[in-house]
Amino acid sequence: MPDLLGWLSSLILVATIAAQIHKQWRDETSRGVSLWLFVGESVSSLGFTIYSVLVDNWVFVVTNAILLGAALLGLYITFRHRGRARGSERASQPGTA
């Protein structure tokens, strides 16, 4: 029973993070999203994944590995949107080609 609760909780957490990243991708903007959110999430998820392996807790190994992937994807999307926004700003400035 405890493992079932852990897996269901993990599923809910991963689903909420996935929904947020999907919204960020679909809306094609990362306005208001801090890079430090994804950097911190990446570092902590990596640490928690290693810790979970060491204590042999597979619910948390899987959950934190997925969250690490989500954080890296969020970081990629944020960099991509910010790069695109900078390119648009340069193109709209007078005297630029």
pLDDT mean across residues, the chain: 89
pLDDT in tens, 10-43: 999 999 999 989 998 999 888 888 888 889 999 9
Give the per-residue pLDDT at 68: 96
Q: Do the domain assignments include residue 36?
A: yes
Q: Is 84 part of any domain?
A: no
What pLDDT sits at residue 95? 65
Instruction: Give the pLDDT score at 96.
Output: 58
Structural domain for 14, as ranges: 2-79
pLDDT at 85: 77
- In this structure, how many other beta carbons lie within 10 angstroms of the beta carbon of residue 19? 10
- Both tokens of 5, joined, read 């609760």
pLDDT score at 29 = 87
Q: Which 3 state secondary structure label does DSSP give 82?
A: helix
Stated as kind and residue range, the H or E segment containing 31 is none
Six-digit token string for 19 = 């929904």
Instruction: Tell whether 97 is covered by a domain.
Output: no
- Mean pLDDT for the stretch of residues 2-16: 91
Q: Is residue 48 part of a domain?
A: yes
What does the pLDDT average to over 30-59?
92
Number of domains in the chain: 1
The CATH code of the domain that includes 47 is 1.20.1280.290
